[in-house]
């Protein structure tokens, strides 16, 4: 997959057409005894602890004993802490090295970076730098340790030397800059004071407490622990990769340099949202509101005049709201406009936060709906209403008219805009027009008389035909054309199961996509099989790849698939709408003991525990206390409720078994 060890920092980019991330170097170490440098390790083991957000490594070095390492990046401060302990410390010298370059490039520092570095008598190193990039920044990097050491600088390598190794040694890399308008030197001094005051033990406690707060927002315990591990690893990385702006596919140079796809970020958003991490998820629609003016300029603004035409967001956005994608027919995608609108709408549905909808969510939803309405919806001479030519999923090629997936996205956007307008009491005439366009598009979706198809005349099979149910929820689950389209794709999924025409199996993202679809159909057996199919392609840390099979392995830590995998598990355990909360709507027959705490539509959080097919805990809380008609609690027929917990949750509504 081409990845090499590098520190990447969100938002710090070159001012090139594709806005590549600045690399912030890497670190390693060196051992020596009586002038002899250690050989390569004979054995090496590494463990990721997602609960504590820390990684531990153990290596055996012939003639030098074993080395135990623990590393974490502090949850609230720009601190990388690296602790190492040595089993045979006698006469053992240790050097911690920070290289401000990338592996295999020699001593060459990053392009468009200038720096000055000074070693201090107390064994610290201060690096002052400037970047000429997307934002010209002034920054500082500090290297320090909790044990006496000697500092040395050689070109782009900065070293801390330790002559005594009889106690664990922790080295810190601290980064600060003025991108947010604060003075980097002041930031560094404050963090150094924090390190001196708390030590590594105190930093660990505050770091772990922050992560514990994250994990306490939701909970899932499954009978199959390997699937549960993949689930929690996905949620771990979704938090790691959620920048102050939005959710990139990942923060690596190999993953589109951490640019923000309006299409992909929605999947990570929904994984976080349905897991009850509403505050973190909200960064996505808030980011799109911040970029709305640029999106208007792209689509319909000319000087001070805003024409009818809505807004058009870039395909690959950077923090400034600008387009940074390379040239290609992917620039003719428009279904990401649906994802941007639906993130804002789903934020309201799950948070019940009318103020955010009115102030930030609805302007985005309306602008996206207007784009489809004015620029993409065509009524043809034969009376059909369709979405005009665009790029749908890239495997289907360019200039596709009446594409099923894009059309379902437009339908969902127009409906969301109409519903949001009604909720706010705004734009009544436009809302009726949007709703009418949506229903006209539904009537003319492409099909061959038996099933929906990716587009008229398409010879390929595509996961796109599932999109009526997920991600858009635009088509009724009992639509026979939709059901036959799903069956038709799954019969040949191994030939069309990756985003690119490579491989011979189904990628985790498509497997998770199926899991959500089957969960919404209430088919627990198939939803489980799809989730297991996805889990079995996970990597050595239970991380999810873009594609991971014997002949093709690319892009581990792929947040798009992570969000969908999480959502698939969540919708097996809990589904909701404005009228009902459905407990365990799509679990397989062999799952009869499990628990969860997840978000539900209406601002609710639902915590439930099922043991041996008996409901033994059901607690429902609400984020807001405004007026709202309580939903019906729906239990599956197999689930016993001997203590009447569901009835007690909303006594006036009653309980339904189905």
- Please state the three-class secondary structure of 441-464 as a single string: HHHCCCECCCCECCCCCCCCCCHH
| Cα 564 from Cα 572, distance rounded (Å) | 12
Q: How large is the average pLDDT for residues 222-251?
A: 98
pLDDT above 90 (res 212) = yes
Distance, C-alpha 274 to centroid of its chain: 13
pLDDT (0 to 100) of residue 630 = 85
Cβ atoms 637, 582 nearer than 8 A: no
| Cα 523 from Cα 263, distance rounded (Å) | 27
| Tokens coding 335 | 């279904």
pLDDT (0 to 100) of residue 551 = 81
CA distances from 438 to 361, 445, 464 (A): 20, 11, 19
Q: Which residue has the higher pLDDT, 339 or 3?
A: 339
Secondary element (H or E) of residue 301: strand 301-302
3-state secondary structure of 337: helix
DSSP E strands in 215-319: the ranges are 219-221, 260-261, 301-302, 305-306, 316-317
Closest CA relative to residue 579, chosen from 598, 604, 597: 604
Which residues are registered as beta bridge partners of 302? 305
| Cα 634 from Cα 658, distance rounded (Å) | 7
Cβ atoms 84, 149 nearer than 8 A: no
pLDDT above 80 (res 658) = no
pLDDT (0 to 100) of residue 548 = 87
Q: How large is the average pLDDT for residues 160-175?
A: 97
Query: In the chain, pLDDT over 90 holds for what percent of residues?
Result: 89
pLDDT (0 to 100) of residue 651 = 74
Cβ atoms 633, 650 nearer than 8 A: yes
- The helix-helix angle for 524-535 and 225-241 (nearest 10°) equals 70
Res. 552 pLDDT band, cuts 50 70 90: confident
Q: How large is the average pLDDT for residues 180-189?
A: 95
Provide, for the chain, the percentages of residues in helix, strand and coil under a 3-state DSSP scheme, each rounded to the nearest 5.
35, 25, 40
Q: How large is the average pLDDT for residues 600-612?
A: 97
Cα of first residue to Cα of last residue in the chain, in angstroms, is 47
Cβ atoms 516, 568 nearer than 8 A: yes
pLDDT above 80 (res 2) = no
CA distances from 530 to 479, 514, 526, 569 (A): 21, 6, 6, 10
Closest CA relative to residue 510, chosen from 475, 542, 548: 548
| Cα 156 from Cα 175, distance rounded (Å) | 16
Cβ atoms 499, 394 nearer than 8 A: yes
pLDDT (0 to 100) of residue 104 = 77
pLDDT (0 to 100) of residue 416 = 98
Q: Is 275 left (phi over 0), alpha (psi -120 to 50) or beta?
A: alpha
pLDDT above 70 (res 654) = no
| Cα 74 from Cα 235, distance rounded (Å) | 17
3-state secondary structure of 521: coil
Closest CA relative to residue 25, chosen from 136, 143, 134: 143
Res. 1 pLDDT band, cuts 50 70 90: low
Q: How large is the average pLDDT for residues 194-214?
A: 96
Q: Residue for token digits 């599956």?
A: 636
**Cβ-count burial of 40 within 10 angstroms (0-12 exposed, 13-18 middle, 19+ buried)?**
exposed
| Cα 546 from Cα 303, distance rounded (Å) | 42
pLDDT above 70 (res 525) = yes
**Cβ-count burial of 475 within 10 angstroms (0-12 exposed, 13-18 middle, 19+ buried)?**
buried
Q: How large is the average pLDDT for residues 101-108?
A: 80
Secondary element (H or E) of residue 54: strand 54-61
Res. 629 pLDDT band, cuts 50 70 90: confident
| Tokens coding 155 | 């070109």
Cβ atoms 255, 248 nearer than 8 A: yes
Closest CA relative to residue 316, chosen from 333, 292, 341: 333
Radius of gyration for the alpha carbons in the chain, expressed in angstroms and rounded: 27
Strands 655-657 and 632-635 turn out to be parallel
Interval 46-81: pLDDT, tens? 999 999 999 999 999 999 999 999 999 999 999 999
| Tokens coding 542 | 């239970």
Res. 8 pLDDT band, cuts 50 70 90: very high
| Cα 337 from Cα 413, distance rounded (Å) | 8
pLDDT (0 to 100) of residue 106 = 75
The CA-CA-CA angle for residues 319, 322, 323, to 5°, reads 115
Would you mind telling me the total number of residues written for the chain in this entry? 658
Strands 125-131 and 137-145 turn out to be antiparallel
| Tokens coding 8 | 């990447």
Cβ atoms 373, 414 nearer than 8 A: yes
| Cα 549 from Cα 73, distance rounded (Å) | 30
| Cα 420 from Cα 369, distance rounded (Å) | 11
Q: Residue for token digits 């209430």?
A: 522
pLDDT (0 to 100) of residue 635 = 96
Neighbours of 519 (CB within 10 A): 29
Res. 624 pLDDT band, cuts 50 70 90: confident
pLDDT above 90 (res 4) = no
Q: What's this model's pTM, rounded to 2 decimal places?
A: 0.96
Give the chain's mean pLDDT. 95
pLDDT above 70 (res 204) = yes
DSSP E strands in 483-642: the ranges are 545-549, 552-556, 574-576, 580-583, 594-600, 604-611, 614-622, 632-635
pLDDT (0 to 100) of residue 121 = 86
CA distances from 121 to 118, 125, 367, 499 (A): 10, 9, 58, 55
Which residues are registered as beta bridge partners of 46? 57
pLDDT (0 to 100) of residue 626 = 66
Select from 2.70.98.50, 3.30.1370.60, 3.10.510.20, 3.40.50.2000 the CATH code of 8-216. Answer: 2.70.98.50
Residue span(s) of the chain under CATH 2.70.98.50 come to 8-216
pLDDT above 80 (res 498) = no
Res. 183 pLDDT band, cuts 50 70 90: very high
Domain 282-313+324-487 is of which CATH architecture? Alpha/alpha barrel (1.50)
3-state secondary structure of 214: helix
Residues 6+ apart with CB under 8 A from 242: 268, 272, 280, 283
Residues 6+ apart with CB under 8 A from 208: 52, 53
Res. 198 pLDDT band, cuts 50 70 90: very high
pLDDT above 70 (res 124) = yes
| Cα 73 from Cα 180, distance rounded (Å) | 20
Cβ atoms 380, 394 nearer than 8 A: no
Residue span(s) of the chain under CATH 1.50.10.10 come to 282-313+324-487
Q: How large is the average pLDDT for residues 539-543?
A: 94
Strands 169-177 and 157-162 turn out to be unpaired
Q: How large is the average pLDDT for residues 262-275?
A: 98
Q: Which residue has the higher pLDDT, 505 or 424?
A: 424
| Cα 81 from Cα 54, distance rounded (Å) | 10
pLDDT (0 to 100) of residue 299 = 96
The CA-CA-CA angle for residues 277, 280, 286, to 5°, reads 130
Q: How large is the average pLDDT for residues 407-435?
A: 98
């Amino acid at each position: 997959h081409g990845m090499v060890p590098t520190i990447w920092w969100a938002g710090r980019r070159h001012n090139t057409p594709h806005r590549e991330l600045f690399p912030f170097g890497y670190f390693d170490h060196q051992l020596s005894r009586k002038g002899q440098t250690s050989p390569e390790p004979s054995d090496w083991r590494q463990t990721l602890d997602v609960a504590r957000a820390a990684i531990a490594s153990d290596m055996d070095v012939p003639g030098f004993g074993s080395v135990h390492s623990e590393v974490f990046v502090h949850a609230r401060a720009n601190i990388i802490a690296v602790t190492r302990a040595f089993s045979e410390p006698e006469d053992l010298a240790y050097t911690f090295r920070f290289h401000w370059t990338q592996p295999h490039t020699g001593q060459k520092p990053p392009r468009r970076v200038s720096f000055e570095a000074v070693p201090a008598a107390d064994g610290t190193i201060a690096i002052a730098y400037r970047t000429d990039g997307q934002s010209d920044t002034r920054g500082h990097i500090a290297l320090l340790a909790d044990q006496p050491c000697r500092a040395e600088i050689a070109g782009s390598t900065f070293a801390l030397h330790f002559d005594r190794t009889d106690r664990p040694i922790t080295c810190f890399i601290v980064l600060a800059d003025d991108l947010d308008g604060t003075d980097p030197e002041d930031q560094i001094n404050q963090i150094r004071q924090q390190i001196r005051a708390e030590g590594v033990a105190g930093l660990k406690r505050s770091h772990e407490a922050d992560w514990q707060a994250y994990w306490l927002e939701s909970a899932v315990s499954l009978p199959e622990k390997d699937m549960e591990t993949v689930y929690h690893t996905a949620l771990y990385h979704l938090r790691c990769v959620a920048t102050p702006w939005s959710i990139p596919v990942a923060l690596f140079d190999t993953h589109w340099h951490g640019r923000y796809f309006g299409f992909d970020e929605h999947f990570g958003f929904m994984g976080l949202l349905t897991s009850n991490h509403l505050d973190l998820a909200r960064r996505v629609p808030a980011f799109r509101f911040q970029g709305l003016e640029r999106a208007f300029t792209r689509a319909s603004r000319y000087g001070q005049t805003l024409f009818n035409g809505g807004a058009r967001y870039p395909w690959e956005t950077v923090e400034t709201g600008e387009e940074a994608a390379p040239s290609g027919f992917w620039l003719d995608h428009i279904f990401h406009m649906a994802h941007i609108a639906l993130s804002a709408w789903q934020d309201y549905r799950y948070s019940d936060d009318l103020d955010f909808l009115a102030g930030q969510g609805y302007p985005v939803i309306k602008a996206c709906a207007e784009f489809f309405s004015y620029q993409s919806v065509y009524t043809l001479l034969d009376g059909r209403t369709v979405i005009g030519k665009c790029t749908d999923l890239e495997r289907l090629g360019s200039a596709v008219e009446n594409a099923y997936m894009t059309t379902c996205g437009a339908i969902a956007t127009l409906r969301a805009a109409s519903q949001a307008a009604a909720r706010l009491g705004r734009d009544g005439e436009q809302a009726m027009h949007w709703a009418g366009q949506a229903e006209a598009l539904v009537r003319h979706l492409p099909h061959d008389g038996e099933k929906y198809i990716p587009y008229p005349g398409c010879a390929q099979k595509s996961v796109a035909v599932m999109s009526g149910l997920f991600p858009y929820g635009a088509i009724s689950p009992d639509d026979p054309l939709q059901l036959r389209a799903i069956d038709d794709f799954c019969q040949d999924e191994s030939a069309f199961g990756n985003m690119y025409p490579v491989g011979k199996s189904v990628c985790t993202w498509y497997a998770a996509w199926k899991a959500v679809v089957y969960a919404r159909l209430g088919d627990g057996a198939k939803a489980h099989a799809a989730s297991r199919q996805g889990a079995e392609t996970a990597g050595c840390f239970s991380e999810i790849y873009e594609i991971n099979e014997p002949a093709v392995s690319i892009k581990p830590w792929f947040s798009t698939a992570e969000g969908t995998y999480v959502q698939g598990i969540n919708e097996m355990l809990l589904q909701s709408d404005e009228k009902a909360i459905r407990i365990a709507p799509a679990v397989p027959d062999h799952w009869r003991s499990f628990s969860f705490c997840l978000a539900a539509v209406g601002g609710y959080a639902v915590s439930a525990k099922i043991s041996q097919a008996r409901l033994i805990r059901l607690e429902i809380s609400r984020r807001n206390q405004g007026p709202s008609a309580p939903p019906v609690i729906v239990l599956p027929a197999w689930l016993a409720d001997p203590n009447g917990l569901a009835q007690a949750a909303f006594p006036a509504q009653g309980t339904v078994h189905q």
